[in-house]
């Protein structure tokens, strides 16, 4: 390696966030770079789950209103703890359901086709589940997705041009759904700019924040974003299948949700058991069913850690780690036909790096065999996410050293160039 490991060691010694690494369960001889798919378990999250289980064990039904974290108010409690990460008011965020369920809720609420405004605008690089939900909502309202779903094209299969998105904001568009960060390439869109342009044209706009919340500071209220939704098991470390979350701008509070359910009720009358739905006056109105308490519990500890670390400082370290990673790729792997498939400028890059290679699937398998946990995305992307809470500069250095060894000695040839069931 041209750059000595001593440089990585010195960066780790200067890292003011280094102590948070001790909060997580890290496996010996393993470098975990897949936190953009599933974050690691923290000790505080584990303890939070045990506390909630203790409430169930000792309080039974009274756990809904008693104990350290009363379940009846847990969704609102966690939503409030999440507001610093998304730049929202405490009444604008609720922790509930899952990403796709929340998208269905928001689509059914805010997609109101009128006259020639019948189309939903998104992009061709969006995560498939979002597209499935959008198409199904169009069909529910009697519209053909082939005609009424507009997907902005990408010139290179990696990035979107924001001017192309704006150009597609025609007077036939009723609603816009976009990712904050593209899941393959890691491109970070200019959320504030796109929101302003949508509103100039009288169009509501919402964002999928799955690949940015917990990695990048957002200011949804200041930017006047209409709504957003995201998962919590990536950078927020809530665990597999962890509960989702959503944001609804306060200007839309009071609108009856498209999908009503009793946990969206005003809490003061919820247990009156009347058949007339009285929604909450906050984002809580967009809840549908009883919260998944045991899936939400890990967030208690996870959000505590993230807020202590501070999302702005986490972003600074993330950018530093990914810059270091890209520099090492350029220095050490130039001869092996890797392409950096993510934006290289800080203000357009999310929390992960996308390396493209025709042998990507088998290279990922070889990395895993060497103790590095990457992420493969079809057809040729190796995603590497040095999460600032628990990854180090030395982790990055060692990853590139091992990757170079894999390429020099063609260790990847031991494996089939085909993804596993879960990539």
Secondary-structure breakdown of the chain: helix, strand, coil percentages, each rounded to the nearest 5? 45, 15, 40
Pick the closest to residue 208 from 300, 319, 131 (CA basis). Answer: 131
What is the domain partition of the chain in residue ranges?
5-32+310-414, 48-308
* pLDDT < 70 regions, the chain: 423
Strand pairing of 93-95 and 245-248? antiparallel
Q: What is the token pair recorded at 68?
A: 């350290």
Q: What's the CA gap between 60 and 151, in Å, rounded?
A: 49
Q: What's the CA gap between 335 and 312, in Å, rounded?
A: 36
pLDDT at 423: 67
Radius of gyration of the chain, Cα coordinates, nearest whole angstrom: 22
Q: What's the CA gap between 232 and 219, in Å, rounded?
A: 18
Q: What's the CA gap between 113 and 118, in Å, rounded?
A: 4
* Residue 58 is assigned to a ligand binding site: no
DSSP 123-138: ETTS-HHHHHHHHHHH
Cα-based torsion angle of the residue sequence 20, 22, 27, 33 in order, rounded to the nearest 10 degrees: 10
pLDDT tens profile 31-49: 999 999 999 999 999 999 9
Q: What is the token pair recorded at 128?
A: 């498939």
DSSP 223-253: HT--EEEE-SSSTT---TT---EEEE-GGGT
DSSP 47-113: HHHHHHHHHHHHHGGGGGTSSSS-GGGHHHHHHHHHHHHHT--TTSEEE-S-HHHHHHHHHHHH---
* Residue 144 is assigned to a ligand binding site: no
Q: What is the token pair recorded at 91?
A: 């009444």
As beta bridge partners, residue 390 has none
* Residue 208 is assigned to a ligand binding site: yes
* Residue 128 is assigned to a ligand binding site: yes
Say which residue the tokens 């960060």 belong to.
181
pLDDT tens profile 181-233: 999 999 999 999 999 999 999 999 999 999 999 999 999 999 999 999 999 99
Q: What's the CA gap between 196 and 243, in Å, rounded?
A: 30
| Run of H or E including 302 | helix 293-309
pLDDT at 417: 83
* Residue 226 is assigned to a ligand binding site: no
Pick the closest to residue 138 from 115, 112, 116, 102 (CA basis). Answer: 112
pLDDT at 2: 86
pTM: 0.97
Half-sphere exposure of 32 (CA within 13 A, CB side): 20
pLDDT tens profile 274-324: 999 999 999 999 999 999 999 999 999 999 999 999 999 999 999 999 999
pLDDT at 247: 99
Q: What is the token pair recorded at 253?
A: 């509070």
Pick the closest to residue 62 from 54, 70, 52, 50 (CA basis). Answer: 70
The torsion angles phi and psi of 212, rounded to 5 degrees, stand at -135, -30
Q: Which residues make Cβ contacts (< 8 Å) with residue 233, sequence separation at least 6?
A: 38, 39, 239, 240, 241, 242
* Residue 171 is assigned to a ligand binding site: no
CA-to-CA separations, 382 to 329, 340, 372, in angstroms, rounded: 13, 10, 12
* Residue 290 is assigned to a ligand binding site: yes
- CATH code assigned to 48-308: 3.40.640.10
Count Cβ neighbours within 10 Å for each residue of 325-346 and write b for 16 or more, e otherwise: bbebbeebbeeeebebbbbeee
DSSP 159-171: ---HHHHHHT--T
Class of domain 5-32+310-414: alpha beta
* Residue 127 is assigned to a ligand binding site: yes
* Residue 130 is assigned to a ligand binding site: yes
């Amino acid at each position: 390696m041209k750059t000595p490991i001593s440089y990585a060691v010195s960066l780790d010694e200067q890292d003011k966030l280094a102590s948070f690494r001790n909060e997580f369960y890290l496996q010996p001889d393993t470098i975990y770079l897949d936190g953009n798919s599933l974050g690691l378990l923290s000790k505080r999250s584990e303890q939070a789950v045990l506390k909630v289980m203790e409430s169930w064990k000792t309080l039974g039904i009274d756990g809904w209103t008693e104990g350290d974290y009363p379940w009846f108010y847990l969704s609102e409690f966690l939503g409030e703890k999440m507001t610093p990460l998304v730049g929202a008011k405490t009444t604008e965020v609720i922790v509930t359901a899952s990403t796709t369920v929340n998208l269905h809720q928001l689509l059914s609420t805010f997609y109101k086709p009128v006259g020639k405004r019948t189309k939903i605008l998104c992009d061709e690089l969006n995560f498939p589940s979002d597209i499935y939900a959008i198409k199904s909502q169009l069909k529910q309202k009697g519209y053909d997705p082939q005609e009424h779903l507009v997907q902005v094209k990408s010139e290179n299969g990696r990035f979107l041009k924001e001017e192309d998105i704006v150009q597609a904001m025609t007077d036939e568009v009723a609603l816009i759904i976009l990712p904050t960060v593209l899941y393959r390439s890691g491109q970070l869109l200019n959320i504030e700019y796109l929101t302003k342009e949508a509103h100039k044209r009288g169009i509501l706009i919402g964002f999928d924040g799955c690949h940015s919340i917990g990695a990048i500071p957002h200011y949804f209220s200041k930017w006047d974003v209409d709504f957003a939704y995201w998962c919590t098991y990536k950078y927020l470390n809530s665990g597999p299948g962890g509960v989702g979350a959503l944001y609804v701008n306060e200007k839309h509070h009071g609108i009856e949700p498209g999908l009503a359910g009793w946990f969206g009720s005003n809490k003061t009358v919820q247990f009156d058991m009347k058949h007339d739905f009285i929604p909450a006056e906050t984002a809580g109105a967009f809840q549908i069913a009883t919260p998944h308490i045991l899936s939400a519990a890990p967030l208690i500890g996870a959000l505590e850690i993230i807020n202590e670390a501070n999302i702005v400082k986490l972003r600074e370290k993330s950018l530093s780690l990914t810059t270091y990673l890209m520099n090492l790729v350029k220095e050490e792997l130039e001869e092996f036909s890797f392409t950096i498939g993510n934006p290289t400028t800080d203000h357009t890059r999310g929390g992960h790096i996308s390396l493209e290679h025709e042998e990507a699937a088998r290279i990922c398998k070889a990395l895993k065999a060497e103790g590095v946990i990457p992420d493969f995305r079809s057809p040729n992307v190796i995603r590497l996410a040095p999460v600032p809470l628990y990854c180090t500069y030395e982790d990055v250095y060692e990853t590139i050293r091992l990757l170079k060894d894999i390429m020099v000695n063609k260790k990847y040839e031991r494996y089939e160039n085909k993804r596993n069931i879960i990539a």
